[in-house]
Amino acid sequence: MTRLCVPLTGTTCPQMEADLAAATAGGADGVELRLDYLHEWDEAAVRHLLEAAARFPGEVIATYRTAAEGGHCDESEATRVSRLEFVGLTEAVDYLDVEYETWRASANIRQKIGLVCDVDAAETGRPRRRLILSKHNFENTPFDLESTLSVLAREPAHVVKVACKANSVVDALRVLDALRTSAAIRPTIGLAMGEVGLMTRVLARKLGAFLTFASLDAGKESAPGQATLDDMRRLYRWDAIGPATQVYGVIGCPVAHSMSPAILNAAFGETAHDAVYLPFRVEPNYAAFAAFVDGCVARPWLGLRGCSVTIPHKQNLLRYVEQRGGVVEPLARRIGAANTLCIEPGGRDDGTDTRVSAYNTDYRGAMDALLAGLGRCGTGSPPVNSDRNDVGLRRDSAWRTGPTKLDGVSVAVLGAGGVSRAIVAGLRDCGCAVTIYNRTRERAEALAAEFGAEARPNDERAGHRADVVINCTSIGMWPNVDDAPLPAEGLAHKPLVFDTVYNPIETRLLREARDRGCPTVDGVAMFVGQAAAQFTLWTHRPAPTDLMREVLARRLASR
């Protein structure tokens, strides 16, 4: 079983003891006493800390890391080794983590550490400390990681470890390669540091790593890119990850702020779908996008089955799938952007027979939210003619035009950017009469001409008489919550008001609309709708939308 280990980074022994208690309560399988973080070495206090560590139900690692390998020790090597001997001879510690460079520096050090760890314990069966030999690189990810692990394994170590900085998400894939190969034959820790290395930490359990690290809280990381213990166990559902777990994620740049991991991991848990959803930060160019997806496709053992794709890669997704001869949803092609990648593996180990497809669920989420809003206020017409073909999607698609038609519904769309483009395409495909208002009239006219809509000057937007108003701009988004994209007089005839902004959930526009008796639809409905459509495309089952909305609302409130 892969351990979930919390590094204790307090600067005093009492702080470490408090964090040890918190790690125990949080369900950690192991703790790492980062003794190099202590501002002063008080032997009595350290002994008291070790007595507390001896009562920890999991495994305890002691580390006294050198500054050269990312630690904080500025003592002499003799002092450092002496202190490692001191803690290693207690019953509290199960493992000593020693840098390979330290280990090979002198026979004297090898003898002292070797006696403490009893490197022959596998033969003698004596219950002594075990040795982790580690190597760190804080500049890049070397290309010889597997060779490095093999070199470490030739030493009398019980566990071998490499940790290196990932400068791209492809670096993280190479770390997973080395981890997978080494973990199959020996206890191994393999981690990529930095934001893009998160996948190596979460997927360590899938690949059978000896352990992975999770910080107790944000700000208590011992290395860049560590997720918190709570996020690992709750957000990423650590305990549910296994060798067969499928992998999904969101590709973007930036991507750390994305709410998608929270709602989709919750959906997987609710439906007992064996999958985990991760953020993938991919640099904003086509080459980086293609390199990442190609890298995942070439590793069928990784189990990547699909991705949400956000700014700035929506056009890159279309290009990638078209170049690979995959399936592109017709309306996504017309919109010129896709946000959902589906991956269907074949039977070859190199992934060359893998099939990829691209869809746009942004407009589907918007249409679902709009139809639900019209249904609540009693607007709409009889059920859709069953001969209609889902705006060009295959028959088993999750999305249907819905229980009511949108034919003939008039809609005023505010904005002419990427969100507007997807929504206008969806509205026109469903038969709506669309008028676009935008600060730059030329953009509105170009969008209107492309999809058969009308463009009007932005200063005329308050005089519209549409059945529905949809705000597709970012006006009113946090932190500019006092702004509104439509003057109050534009609400006088009580249209349905749909704001695609979801942070805050109730924008000023929606608040003013509600005060004037207008039916409203918030941006959460659209966000959940597009994510639910992705979930169904990937899993072929209905999404738990009520739970997804609840999780999103809770995350927004916490921020």
What digits encode the pLDDT tens for the residues 247-300?
999 999 999 999 999 999 999 999 999 999 999 999 999 999 999 999 999 999
Mean pLDDT of 357-381: 86
How far apart CA 44 and CA 33 sit, in angstroms, is: 16
Mean pLDDT of 323-332: 96
**What is the token pair recorded at 411?**
């809609």
Active-site residue (options: 231, 362, 368, 522)? 362
Angle at 398 between CA 397 and CA 399, to 5 degrees: 95
pLDDT band at 402 (very low <50, low <70, confident <90, very high): very low
Mean pLDDT of 426-449: 96
Q: Does residue 170 surpass a pLDDT of 50?
A: yes
Task: Pick 391 or 425 by higher pLDDT.
Answer: 425
177 flagged as catalytic: no
Q: Does residue 383 surpass a pLDDT of 80?
A: no
Q: Does residue 398 surpass a pLDDT of 80?
A: no
pLDDT band at 125 (very low <50, low <70, confident <90, very high): very low
Q: Does residue 115 surpass a pLDDT of 70?
A: yes
The class level of CATH for 362-521 reads: alpha beta
Nearest CA to 361 out of 388, 387, 385, 335 is that of 335
pLDDT at residue 370, rounded to an integer: 95
Mean pLDDT of 75-95: 89
Contacts of residue 161, defined as CB under 8 A and 6 or more positions apart, other chains included, come to 97, 132, 133, 134, 135, 152, 188, 189, 190, 191, 210
Q: How far is CA 210 from CA 3, 16, 264, in A?
A: 6, 23, 27
pTM: 0.92
Distance of CA 192 to the CA centre of its chain: 15
pLDDT at residue 331, rounded to an integer: 94
pLDDT at residue 391, rounded to an integer: 31
Could you confirm whether domain 3-243 is CATH 3.40.50.620? no
Written as one string, the DSSP assignment of 63-88 is E--BGGGT--B-S-HHHHHHHHHHHH
pLDDT at residue 545, rounded to an integer: 96
Instruction: State the sign of the Cα–Cα–Cα–Cα dihedral 193, 198, 201, 204.
Output: negative
How far apart CA 19 and CA 33 sit, in angstroms, is: 10
What pairs with residue 328 in β-bridges? 358
Q: Does residue 455 surpass a pLDDT of 80?
A: yes
Give residue-wise pLDDT tens across range 195-207.
999 999 999 999 9
Q: Does residue 118 surpass a pLDDT of 80?
A: no
Q: Does residue 537 surpass a pLDDT of 60?
A: yes
In the chain, what percentage of residues exceed pLDDT 90? 83
Mean pLDDT of 300-329: 97
Mean pLDDT of 467-486: 95
pLDDT at residue 106, rounded to an integer: 83
Give residue-wise pLDDT tens across range 489-530.
999 999 999 999 999 999 999 999 999 999 999 999 999 999
Q: Which residue do the tokens 């699909």 mark?
A: 306
Contacts of residue 197, defined as CB under 8 A and 6 or more positions apart, other chains included, come to 165, 166, 171, 172, 175, 191, 224, 225
pLDDT band at 378 (very low <50, low <70, confident <90, very high): low
**What is the token pair recorded at 401?**
């035009």
pLDDT band at 119 (very low <50, low <70, confident <90, very high): low
Active-site residue (options: 206, 314, 405, 464)? 314
Domain segments of the chain: what residues? 3-243, 252-359, 362-521
Active-site residue (options: 36, 118, 135, 161)? 161
Domains 252-359 and 362-521 share a fold: yes
What pairs with residue 34 in β-bridges? 63
Active-site residue (options: 136, 273, 313, 405)? 136
Answer whether the bond into residue 254 is a cis peptide, omega within 30°: yes
pLDDT band at 124 (very low <50, low <70, confident <90, very high): very low
pLDDT at residue 120, rounded to an integer: 56
Could you confirm whether domain 252-359 is CATH 3.40.50.1820? no
pLDDT band at 67 (very low <50, low <70, confident <90, very high): confident
161 flagged as catalytic: yes
pLDDT at residue 379, rounded to an integer: 52
133 — phi, psi (to 5°)? Answer: -100, 125
